[in-house]
Structure 1
């Protein structure tokens, strides 16, 4: 039994000194905004009480600008704020971005004269122009600088992708996707805050936060240049792949190996396809036929955007064939179980529980499958 420790009472003088010291260490209260700042804040609140009229076709709710700071210089003011909103029926939690709002005093009142992304913050799609909206049965497509026909075609492909993903991943997910179609590759890169070369040649990417719990938003962002260059089958595969990332987002974490997350998304996209492995994996097939059989499953660096296109192709194709092997040999439920477990526990533990094998055994079997199917 542990002895009971009694608290010793401090002498009154020491107690008083301690109280003074603690008070001097406490953070100073934030200065209260003066009357002019309160007027600026009120003007921003009034101005942002509802979305702009040009966004009327977008199902926005919870639209607000939360003011973080105010800087005034005479009759001008700069407000740093955070835009918050949800796409009703699509976003489980609010999303948004940092904004700079400029105001000018107009007589006795303040008037908003500009609203733009804060430095370092990516723009919203509507910062690039007035968005057009296409609503599908399972999709919401927002586009800028695109024809109505193009957006409708994207919506049809997304509507086909969602049930295909639901059949492969029957667990709980929204079964709806939001697709953004900007006007160019440069506009896409701006939305994502990365250089355009990062996405050159790609059809689309998915944004969102991994991990369990409510994520603010998942968006499939189309590269209009890369997407238009694809065949009809290629567009279907791209949107199904990206929709699979949306579906599995809650089960994905930093623990999930990238070969598993990307391979699973491609497995979903090619599931039921009549293509042979050699037809669906041409880059890796050429490498294997040259005698360049990979020695290990692709690591995270192999999937880096903007790298060697041939290496990137081999990584995606190898990951897909690993997931196809698992589904064929151990069954589709085992592949789904592996995915779910790999997001919350070490891969060796997940492999043993889901498949009853270790990583060296899986790697050996995968390499043998590459030799058999791609030569």
Structure 2
């Protein structure tokens, strides 16, 4: 699914749903018009024509070409925004294919349908994302127009609402940097600056990585949930997520950082920078699809992000220290269930994972920590990866618990 960042430290939930696409074209059935007193029917053939017209407008960058598709002023502004966004983001491999109706047709003849969408940001995405989105259609004279794209109220993990498809976005593009923000160009520039600050920190530990990151900043936490195809409220406590943008487990799928502006906007400058550096580590290491345990994946990202930060443990490990004072140190390293976004004490779990990696680096050195990370990322069992680095997992856990106990004293 995704990499999750909280206020000080972060977590990544690995997994996701592979979206299988049937590329066989089926001619939509044209339903006849409604008789007097009957509910009108969806008109998929005309809807497909409208989708093809939008495809052409996006591919050509011609915002005027969508005017005839819009049933009202709001729809006209939305469709023009999508074309303008596609031009600024250098969208390629854009396609839309009508799949099926969703629910009943309304008395005014409007209806919603599932549409297969593909898109990629040229220069950043190795292959296109492929997702099913919701499109609203409405009759216009003898044809069909497009009233809406995406569904911010969706609770289905199968349908997503890409940020750039929902409103005009502000784009900053530079070498290795692509930021799109719904709120303002100032916000986009702020995140671009955070990427620039993060890159040398990450490359100090991962010198072979060539920086290239896409950051998306939706207008709200609800819009973040919609972009991820998750029920509303799923990521309300999360500052940022690193994930494949279509939710697939394809190792060629685009991986972006998606920000929760409701949380990130409350962070102080240093906290926001730590979050962004953490997420850049996830991108640099391909963490979105990694099989390694989350304590190592998240702990390593925070190890890099906090490596050059001069903050006392009373700040960076305050929550786990309080928890240990109340309950004593945990008996084991945190597992996937502790990293669930809805779990209580999540921030303490992140801090404990970071300290586990700090202890590991103290014992085997930074190169040893990176070796363990690489081995676990390639599928080596964590215990075996630790043994190869010269430390047993039981010994690591004992030293980690002692460090937590000392911290809480």
* TM-score where L is the length of structure 1: 0.78
Q: Is the 8 A contact 1:138 1:159 kept in 2?
A: no
Secondary structure of 1:206's match? strand
Secondary structure of 1:189's match? helix
Paired residue for 2:380, among 329, 341, 345? 345
Partner of 2:356: 322
Quote how far apart the aligned CAs of 1:70 are.
Answer: 8.1
- Judged with a 3 Å threshold, the aligned counterparts in structure 2 of structure 1 residues 132 and 141 are, in CA distance, closer, same or farther, namely same
Is 1:85 the counterpart of 2:97 in the alignment? no
Query: Whole-Å Cα distance in 2 between the matches of residues 47 and 198 of structure 1?
Result: 32
Partner of 2:161: 123
The higher-RCO structure (CA 8 Å, 6+ apart) is: 2
Q: Is the 8 A contact 2:96 2:118 kept in 1?
A: yes
Secondary structure of 1:198's match? coil
Partner of 2:4: none
Secondary structure of 2:191's match? helix
Structure 1 unaligned residues grouped into runs of 5+: 1-28
- Judged with a 3 Å threshold, the aligned counterparts in structure 2 of structure 1 residues 338 and 211 are, in CA distance, closer, same or farther, namely farther
Query: Whole-Å Cα distance in 1 between the matches of residues 408 and 243 of structure 2?
Result: 33
Partner of 2:199: 162
Q: Is the 8 A contact 1:95 1:217 kept in 2?
A: yes
Partner of 2:399: 365
- Judged with a 3 Å threshold, the aligned counterparts in structure 2 of structure 1 residues 356 and 46 are, in CA distance, closer, same or farther, namely same
Paired residue for 1:262, among 279, 298, 304? 298
Paired residue for 2:90, among 37, 59, 82? 59
Secondary structure of 1:85's match? strand
Secondary structure of 2:337's match? helix
Query: Whole-Å Cα distance in 2 between the matches of residues 157 and 112 of structure 1?
Result: 40
Quote how far apart the aligned CAs of 1:238 are.
Answer: 0.5
Quote how far apart the aligned CAs of 1:162 are.
Answer: 2.5
Partner of 2:338: 302
Q: Is the 8 A contact 2:51 2:96 kept in 1?
A: yes
- Judged with a 3 Å threshold, the aligned counterparts in structure 2 of structure 1 residues 50 and 325 are, in CA distance, closer, same or farther, namely farther
Q: Is the 8 A contact 2:298 2:354 kept in 1?
A: yes
Partner of 1:334: 368
* TM-score where L is the length of structure 2: 0.72
Partner of 1:356: 390
Quote how far apart the aligned CAs of 1:105 are.
Answer: 7.2
Please give the residue correspondences for 1:1-375 in structure 2 after superposition, counting only pairs within 5 Å. Answer: 41=48, 44-51=51-58, 52-55=82-85, 56-68=87-99, 80-101=114-135, 102=137, 104=139, 106-107=141-142, 110-117=143-150, 120=156, 121-144=159-182, 146-172=183-209, 175-208=211-244, 214-249=251-286, 252-254=289-291, 256-290=292-326, 292-308=328-344, 311-343=345-377, 344-353=379-388, 355-375=389-409
Deviation string, structure 1 residues 112-156 (Cα, Å, up to 9, x no partner): 433533763121113432111122443211111x23322211221
How many aligned positions are there?
339
Q: Is the 8 A contact 1:128 1:187 kept in 2?
A: no
- Judged with a 3 Å threshold, the aligned counterparts in structure 2 of structure 1 residues 79 and 331 are, in CA distance, closer, same or farther, namely same
Q: Is the 8 A contact 1:201 1:226 kept in 2?
A: yes
Query: Whole-Å Cα distance in 2 between the matches of residues 33 and 280 of structure 1?
Result: 57
Query: Whole-Å Cα distance in 1 between the matches of residues 288 and 149 of structure 2?
Result: 34
Deviation string, structure 1 residues 298-325 (Cα, Å, up to 9, x no partner): 11111111221xx212211110011111
- Judged with a 3 Å threshold, the aligned counterparts in structure 2 of structure 1 residues 368 and 245 are, in CA distance, closer, same or farther, namely same
Deviation string, structure 1 residues 48-107 (Cα, Å, up to 9, x no partner): 124243322222111111344589x9x989764311111111111101321345364754
Q: Is the 8 A contact 1:244 1:268 kept in 2?
A: yes
Quote how far apart the aligned CAs of 1:165 are.
Answer: 1.7
- Judged with a 3 Å threshold, the aligned counterparts in structure 2 of structure 1 residues 32 and 223 are, in CA distance, closer, same or farther, namely closer
Q: Is the 8 A contact 2:50 2:146 kept in 1?
A: no
Query: Whole-Å Cα distance in 2 between the matches of residues 70 and 301 of structure 1?
Result: 37
Quote how far apart the aligned CAs of 1:35 are.
Answer: 8.7
CA RMSD, Structure 1 to Structure 2 (Å) = 3.3
Query: Whole-Å Cα distance in 2 between the matches of residues 158 and 139 of structure 1?
Result: 7
Quote how far apart the aligned CAs of 1:350 are.
Answer: 1.5
